[in-house]
Structure 1
């Protein structure tokens, strides 16, 4: 197929009558889109809430356990002055 044939085929395709969409398609698409946006917003808020709760739980744990402090010695030092 050369260039002129491709152009003629493209013109024939573009000159065809466009199919009519079914009635109510626009309203259904808007409803579905708004539902998806609400769901996405709710999921995002829940994830932010879980992140905030995790930060608070970690902070409380760190303040009570104090993992940065040195642990008490489990053994006694050797005593050599007898």
Structure 2
């Protein structure tokens, strides 16, 4: 396709009347956007809830198990009766 043919094809495309837009397209787009925003807000709330639950569960576990305390040594028996 030569340059002149491409230009002529582009002119023909631009001179055509634009396609008819459905009358309820805007309402559908607004409805879809609202639904997406609600889903995103719900996902964000669930994410924060999961994060807070994990933090509380970790804190409870750490306070009950106390992993920072060194366990008593069990390799040598205590010396008694010297």
Q: TM-score, normalised by structure 2?
A: 0.85
Quote the Cα distance in structure 2 between the aligned partners of 1:56 and 1:76: 38
Structure 1: segments with no counterpart, 5+ residues: none
Q: What is aligned with 2:31?
A: 31
Question: How much does 1:77 deviate?
Answer: 3.3
Q: Which structure 1 residue ranges, 4+ long, deviate > 4 Å from structure 2?
A: none
Map 1:60-71 onto structure 2 (within 5 A). Answer: 60-71=60-71
State the TM-score, normalizing by the size of structure 1.
Answer: 0.85
Task: Tell me the alpha carbon deviations over residues 11-61 of structure 1, each in whole angstroms, 9 at most, x when there is no partner.
Answer: 111111111111111101101111111111111111111101101110111
> Gaps spanning 5+ residues in structure 2: where?
none
How many residues end up aligned between the 2 structures? 81
1:55-79 per-residue CA deviation (whole Å, 9 max, x = no partner) reads 1110111122111111122343386
Instruction: Please state if 1:42 is matched with 2:36.
Output: no
Cα RMSD after superposing both structures: 1.9
